[in-house]
Chain A
Amino acid sequence: MSRRPVAALVAVALAAGLLLFAFARLFGRDPHEVPFGLRGKPAPDFTLTRLDTGETITLRQLRGHPVVLNFWASWCAPCQLEHPTLARAAQHFAAQARFFGVVFEDTPENARAFARPLEPSFPQLVDPQSRMAVDYGVSGVPETYFIDAEGIIRDKVVGPMLDLQEVASRLDALRSPAPAPGASR
């Protein structure tokens, strides 16, 4: 074999290898999925007020209890589907975790009109200008965060949670020790 075809073969093999590497590394995931970097990290503290009573709630005062945070909005149809499941979960698993809703990019009037027919529900918090939502890396609604008793974000569910059993299994996972930082899920 002369030198030229060998060089061409090497070049083609190199290009194919690079393409395969790029495909495996960059294109092996859903392009619409927004990565989440706070999994396994301490949940940013927040100070928000309750939609109904105006009482101030901070994450610090909840330390020692697992916390479920659900970001929602009245203009979000999947949130309307999901809300009854979460309201039932909040009652059912009240001993296991504290449930809070966080109103995302909505007016308090719209949020109250949305939440009223669902009473008794879990406390809803007002997040002015969505500052806390950005702090938590929210990429859309609905999103539900599971925070353990030590204040570590253990998981985030993107999209509606429509199954009580799914909530139960994620709450169970909050009781197991947190994986070491940097460990794969």
Chain B
Amino acid sequence: MRTLVLALWLSATPHPPQQAGSAPLDGPREARVQALGKLLRCPMCQGLSIADSGSSAARAQMDRVRELVAEGQSDAEIRAYFVARYGEWALLEPSTEGFNWLVWLGPPALLLLGAWVIGRLVRRPPPPHTATAPEPKPAEEDKYLEAVRAELRK
């Protein structure tokens, strides 16, 4: 019963009608379309590429990528088309320029720094023995031990 109510509610909720995407291009060109689609962010989804998203907006963008590939535009030109409209935000892989270098070089730099710190810690000689508390002299020890034993014997 609950399933039926849920199904009725879902079918009554407004949703975009699914439209078929444009026809795939020939093998290598369609492979380019899919590869480009994997690198472009879908504006209506959360962190999905337009190739992976099932949303109608992503389908529309994939159609446009296909059209631009069919027109003979290069990958860089197609990326520039989307960046012109949605900014760098459209790229799931940031371009290697300006501030973005921090994103590309930051993680390996941190790894190298970590390796260097660990290397230094491992290679560092153990610290020399510092002066510890002097061991009690046997005579003193005996004196206290004797006192305790004497108490126990009472």
Contacts and interface: CB of A to CB of B under 8 A. Distances in A.
Interface of A: 18, 22, 25, 34-38, 41, 73-77, 105-107, 110, 129-131, 133-140
Contacts of B102: 18, 22
Contact of B14 (A35, A74, A139): A74
Interface string B29-71: 0000000000000011000000000001100110110010000
Given A131-B60, A131-B63, A137 B17 contact: no
16 contacts: A18-B102, A34-B89, A36-B85, A36-B87, A37-B83, A41-B84, A75-B14, A75-B15, A77-B14, A110-B17, A134-B64, A137-B85, A138-B57, A139-B43, A139-B44, A139-B86
B99 A25 contact: yes
A35 B85 CA distance: 8
A106 B17 CA distance: 6
Contacts of A131: 60, 63-64, 67
Contacts of A41: 84
Given A38-B84, A129-B63, A131-B63, A105 B89 contact: no
Given A34-B86, A130-B60, A140-B57, A106 B43 contact: no
Of the four ranges (under 10, 10 to 19, 20 to 34, 35 or more), the interface on chain B belongs to 20 to 34
Contacts of B43: 34, 138-140
A37 B60 contact: no
B73 interface: no
A129 B85 CA distance: 18
Prevailing SS type, chain A contact patch: loop
A77 B15 CA distance: 10
Contacts, number: 73
Contacts of A34: 43, 86, 89
Given A36-B86, A134-B64, A137-B85, A73 B19 contact: no
A130 B17 contact: no
Interface string B1-29: 00000000000001111010010000000
Contact of B16 (A35, A37, A73, A137): A73
B14 A129 contact: no
A73 B64 CA distance: 20
